[in-house]
Amino acid sequence: MSKSLKKRLRILKIFIATVIITITFFSLSNAADTSSDALPMSGVKSINFDERINMYEVIGTDGTINYLSKDKRYFFFGTIIDTKEKKNLTEERKAEIFKINFSELSLQDAIKLPSKKNGTKKIAAFIDPSCPWCRKLYGEFKKFEDVTVYVFLTPLSSKDVIRSLWCSKDIAIIDQAFMRDTKEIKIQAKECDSSAIDRNLTFIKTHGINSYPTIIFENGKRIAGYVPYEKLIKLINENSLNTLSRKEGKR
């Protein structure tokens, strides 16, 4: 092969690569500005530029948040962590964007944990005993003095275990399931109307709840993942309707 031919082939390869990159860039650019058809996700709710991270925030209808580079060429799945402030920026935005009206929760579809006092403050939690962080969070719930917890059983693994827990309605059995590994205990199967479990599954899909555990506060804010007791109490006080009422009264 002659040198001139080799040179022409190299130029052709560079040209082809450039065209492919240009098409990819153009496709994503158009997607970000208009229909979002070329983005590797379905159901785009909105796309906004976030100056904090110098990227586009792509909000999905399924409750997910992904990211697009400023030049609209690279798409990122995952979570953004502020290492300096030690904050999960993605979860913070989810809590802000996907607020859930506490009154929309079907409390009859939850297990109500008894409060040691009046339980004047309330939270809801979507958890499953097969989830280690859910079990750890449940342990923090048991320390509460004046907080009512509504546990929405969410089957992440065995729907049969969740159904048996729901049908038992026995707090001692539910405590045992969450305080120990479910593999170590045997839950006697019971039959009952367990349609509440299906309604819980529909609710989490409708509201984009895809991280467990997830806590819903009275003012609609939500937080995903395990939260230690001291921080959890602080968040409950900050997001309680009673706290908000007192603040309004001081104005």
Q: Render pLDDT for 28-58 as a digit per residue (tens, 0 to 9).
A: 544 444 346 668 877 888 888 999 999 999 9
| pLDDT value at residue 187 | 62
CA distance 3 to 200: 69
| pLDDT value at residue 116 | 85
Is residue 77 exposed (0-12), middle (13-18) or buried (19+ Cβ within 10 Å)? exposed
H helices of the chain, in order, are 3-33, 89-97, 132-141, 159-168, 171-179, 195-206, 229-238, 241-250
For the chain, count helices (H), then strands (E).
8, 11
Could you please state the CATH topology (level 3) that the domain comprising 102-250 is classified under. Glutaredoxin (3.40.30)
Contact partners, residue 135, CB within 8 Å, separation at least 6: 129, 178, 179, 180, 181
CA distance 181 to 157: 13
Which of 20-24, 40-44, 163-167, 172-176 is least confident? Answer: 20-24
CA distance 211 to 44: 19
Q: Is the predicted pLDDT of residue 72 greater than 70, yes or no? A: yes
pLDDT in tens, 7-20: 454 544 433 333 33
Confidence of residue 2 (pLDDT cuts 50, 70, 90): low
What is the three-class DSSP state of 139?
helix
Q: In whole angstroms, what separates CA 150 from the centre of its chain?
A: 18
Q: What tokens were used for 84?
A: 């300096």
Whole-number percent of the chain with pLDDT over 90: 38
| pLDDT value at residue 37 | 65
pLDDT in tens, 184-204: 556 666 678 999 999 999 999
Contact in structure between 50 and 39 (CB atoms under 8 Å):
no
User: What is each CA distance from 117 to 114, 138, 233, 234, 244, in whole angstroms?
Assistant: 9, 18, 15, 18, 21
45, containing H or E segment: strand 44-50
Identify the residue whose tokens are 């944990």. 113
Residues pairing with 25 in the sheet: none
Residues pairing with 121 in the sheet: 147
Q: In whole angstroms, what separates CA 238 from the centre of its chain?
A: 20
Peptide bond into 213 cis (omega under 30): yes
In the chain, list all ranges with CATH 3.40.30.10: 102-250
pLDDT in tens, 193-239: 999 999 999 999 888 888 899 999 999 998 888 999 999 999 999 99
